[in-house]
Amino acid sequence: MGGHMQSWRRKSLWLALSASWLLILLGVFPLLRLAVPARPRARAPQGWPRWLDAELLQSFSQPGELLEDGPQPPQAPRGDSCNWGACFDASKCRDGGLKVFVYPAAGPISETRRRILASIEGSHYHTVSPAEACLLLLLSSDTPAGQCEPVPAQWDGGRNHLVLNLHPAPCPQTVQLGQAMVAKASPTVDTFRAGFDVALPLLPEAHPLRGGAPGQLQQHSPRPGVALLALAGERGRWYTAGTNSSACPWDGHCEQDHGPKQTPPGALLPNATFCLIPGRSPDAWHFLQALQAGCIPVLLSPHWELPFSEVIDWTKAAIVADERLPLQVLTALQEMPLTRVLALRQQTQFLWDAYFSSVEKVIHTTLEIIQDRIFGASARPSLLWNSPPGALLALPTFSTSPVDFPFYHLQQGSRPVGRFSALIWVEAPGQLPLKLIQVVAGSQHCAQILVLWSCEKPPPPRWPETAVPLTVIGGHRKASDRFFPYSAVSTDAILSLDAHSSLSTSEVDFAFVVWQSFPERMVGFLTWSHFWDETRGGWGYTAEKANEFSMVLTSAVFYHRYYHTLFTHSLPRALRSLADETPTCADVLMNFLVAAVTKVPPIKVPYGSRHQEARPPLAPGSPGLRQEPQPAAQDCINQMAAAFGHMPLVSSHLRLDPVLYKDPVSVLRKKYRSLEKP
């Protein structure tokens, strides 16, 4: 009984308590909530509000407004400043392309100037008639101060004129410039008319006219332990700081802090990864020195326009930084990823070699920039200016599509077009290359055969039936004819042959497959090597069997058809006529050209020994296969080295063979088994 009572009481107590709790909870909390102001919550960055009525906002322009913005009449060019469209009459250049007339000097001229004139006259832009020219070039005076140029006869307010000012002129305003374009060294950013003027590099007095010193970079990555920074000092000197340099270049305490070595005057090139160049210093040729040395220029707020900035993408080779943020710049340099450092370093060298190493290159680059402006839509794409071998060696008259050139397949993710054209040069009617035609036509990669008939007698009317089309082209009986860009060539690859060349189909097949891996190189069978002849004090070359080689004979060689264009249109006339006089020189010249472009050796593939015995006797005057070159021919290598300004040939120690070549395994396994026939 008591238990019941107790349990009832317990229950009622239970209920009452719960009920009161509930009441308190339901009633008091909301009251508390209202009474106590919500404390400000810590928030993430709130950002721009999402407006409730965002959808209702008006557009910035009314529907018709964009269409009807009131037509305006064509505008006349303003007189105070010039741009390309307004101040250059490109219609004169429409037919003949860029033709340049150079004003002759009024009085006696300096040696440098004479050589510059000679260099322009030797180029394909030059014309002797001012009426025919679309660009009139006025070389700004480099005569002693005081003798200023008179206004030339065809001045016409400076229209279609280019005033070329390689060295700071003694009389700065030679003539009233008017509508003339100005090409001068390191123009200030404020006076430079982008897209109209041309910014040149500041060249030292003794800059070589042609060829020029190669870049100093010998390896891709910086040598371990090399200084991080070099600082441009007075009169072309450089100060280097230690590897873990602090901000010393900025606070001027380099000497005390690190005891850096001041480079002796005269020994000029900095040895560091980065070269700091103050922006205000007018001697911007520190910049060129850094390029040549492969030292990445770090320009602190430069007040001058970088050379050829219209076409050269300087972000790939230099760093333009704000001088007001020294610590950030220094940290950025120290922490720069290795990949970027490598890319910048290599680009400095490429640019130096392609555009800056000689006066001739600087002038030609200037003219090519103007030509690209004239071409408009058919100008070179940026890739051709900014990757090896550079725009002077990538002619837009050949193509403006990078995939047509042998150099850009990697960047484009492309491959050279599938097959090859055989180009057989026939000099004597007695040596009809009938067997050779069958051998070449037997190759699965052969697309066509072109016979370059270079004899007085007409070619025979009938040619053997072949699996591929055969075309006869009439030649002019000149050795340089072999390298003319014939429009009949329909493939990227050319197999250049002499009538007396002896090859087997599997040799052709294998060589072509190798060429596909190296489309920018020449892939040949027979080789020569060059050497420095101490006794004669000059270059020589030999066909002796040797452990290395630097040239392949063009009597049997694969190369890209672009080299025909380059041979015919970029080489100076004098060199081509040299090749015509001595046919062996044509071989040497072609090898020089390709080596100068690629900077790598050609490739040799195996060549059966049986050919050498089976070969018919040579016609007199034809290239001496396996014969010691004639003394007259020996000299052409020196003439060419002089014309190129340096020796471009590079030696190779290797031959590319099929993977199982002459291995002691079953011939049945081998793809190119007939290559090994004795």
Partner 1 sequence: MCASVKYNIRGPALIPRMKTKHRIYYVTLFSIVLLGLIATGMFQFWPHSIESSSDWSVEKRSVRDVPVVRLPADSPLPERGDLSCRMHTCFDVYRCGFNPKNKIKVYIYSLKKYVDDVGVPVSSTISREYNELLTAISDSDYYTDDITRACLFVPSIDVLNQNTLRIKETAQALAQLSRWDRGTNHLLFNMLPGGPPDYNTALDVPRDRALLAGGGFSTWTYRQGYDVSIPVYSPLSAEVDLPEKGPGPRQYFLLSSQTALHPEYREDLEALQAKHGESVLVLDKCTNLSEGGLAVRKRCHKHQVFDYPQVLQEATFCVVLRGARLGQAVLSDVLRAGCVPVIIADSYVLPFSEVLDWKRASVVVPEEKMSDVYSILQSIPQRQIEEMQRQARWFWEAYFQSIKAIALATLQIINDRIYPYAAISYEEWNDPPAVKWGSVSNPLFLPLIPPQSQGFTAIVLTYDRVESLFRVITEVSKVPSLSKLLVVWNNQNKNPPEDSLWPKIRVPLKVVRTAENKLSNRFFPYDEIQTEAVLAIDDDIIMLTSDELQFGYEVWREFPDRLVGYPGRLHLWDHEMNKWKYESEWTNEVSMVLTGAAFYHKYFNYLYTYKMPGDIKNWVDAHMNCEDIAMNFLVANVTGKAVIKVTPRKKFKCPECTAIDGLSLDQTHMVERSECINKFASVFGTMPLKVVEHRADPVLYKDDFPEKLKSFPNIGSL
Rounded Cα gap, residues 216 and 268, in angstroms? 12
Nearest one of 102, 81, 116 to 195, comparing CA atoms: 81
Smallest distance, partner 1 to C-beta of residue 206, A: 25
Smallest distance, partner 1 to C-beta of residue 489, A: 17
**Given 111, 547, 614, 620, the residue binding partner 1 (CB under 8 A):** 547
Residue 12 contacts partner 1 per CB under 8 A: no
**Given 54, 145, 153, 267, the residue binding partner 1 (CB under 8 A):** 54
* Cα separation values, 562 from 350, 411, 519, 520, Å: 21, 18, 10, 9
Instruction: Please work out the total of residues on this chain that contact partner 1, with binding judged by CB under 8 A.
Output: 134
- The catalytic position among 322, 587, 635, 663 is 587
Residue 488 contacts partner 1 per CB under 8 A: no
Q: Is 479 within 8 Å of 586 (Cβ atoms)?
A: yes
Q: Which is nearer to partner 1, 101 or 562 (CB)?
A: 562
Smallest distance, partner 1 to C-beta of residue 129, A: 25
Q: What is the 3-state secondary structure (H, E, C) of 431-480?
A: CCCHHHHHHHHCCCCEEEEEEEECCCCCCCCCCCCCCCCEEEEECCCCHH
Residue 667 contacts partner 1 per CB under 8 A: no
Residue 219 contacts partner 1 per CB under 8 A: yes
**Amino acid of residue 355:** Y
* Cα separation values, 631 from 242, 457, 638, Å: 54, 31, 12
Question: Exposed, middle or buried, 85 (CB in 10 Å: 0-12/13-18/19+)?
Answer: exposed
**Amino acid of residue 360:** E
Which of the residues 25 through 44 are near partner 1 (CB under 8 A)?
Answer: 25-26, 29, 38
**Amino acid of residue 33:** R
Residue 392 contacts partner 1 per CB under 8 A: no
Residue 634 contacts partner 1 per CB under 8 A: no
Rounded Cα gap, residues 149 and 175, in angstroms? 7
Smallest distance, partner 1 to C-beta of residue 510, A: 7
**Given 1, 5, 37, 64, the residue binding partner 1 (CB under 8 A):** 64
Residues whose CB is less than 8 angstroms from the CB of residue 127 and which lie 6 or more positions away in sequence, other chains included = 96, 99, 100, 101, 133
**Given 323, 396, 417, 459, the residue binding partner 1 (CB under 8 A):** 323
Q: Which is nearer to partner 1, 188 or 577 (CB)?
A: 188
Residue 604 contacts partner 1 per CB under 8 A: yes
Smallest distance, partner 1 to C-beta of residue 660, A: 6
Residue 629 contacts partner 1 per CB under 8 A: no
The one segment of 212-220, 418-426, 429-437, 491-499 that binds partner 1 by CB under 8 A: 212-220
SS3 state of residue 524: strand
**Given 201, 249, 601, 624, the residue binding partner 1 (CB under 8 A):** 601
Which of the residues 343 through 362 are near partner 1 (CB under 8 A)?
Answer: 343, 346, 349-350
Which of the residues 361 through 390 are near partner 1 (CB under 8 A)?
Answer: 376-379, 381-382, 386-388
Residue 59 contacts partner 1 per CB under 8 A: yes
Residue 74 contacts partner 1 per CB under 8 A: yes
Residue 544 contacts partner 1 per CB under 8 A: no
Give the distance from CA 153 to its chain's centroid.
38
Q: Which is nearer to partner 1, 153 or 338 (CB)?
A: 338
Rounded Cα gap, residues 625 and 544, in angstroms? 11
Q: Is 676 within 8 Å of 662 (Cβ atoms)?
A: yes
280-310 exposure pattern, b = at least 16 Cβ within 10 A, e = fewer: ebeebbbbbbbbbbbbbbbbbebebbbbbeb
Active site residue 587: yes
Residue 147 contacts partner 1 per CB under 8 A: no
Which of the residues 404 through 463 are near partner 1 (CB under 8 A)?
Answer: 410-414
Give the distance from CA 289 to its chain's centroid.
19
Q: Which is nearer to partner 1, 270 or 388 (CB)?
A: 388
**Given 5, 37, 42, 58, the residue binding partner 1 (CB under 8 A):** 58
Which of the residues 277 through 306 are near partner 1 (CB under 8 A)?
Answer: 279, 301
Q: Is 494 within 8 Å of 423 (Cβ atoms)?
A: yes
Which residues are tagged catalytic?
587
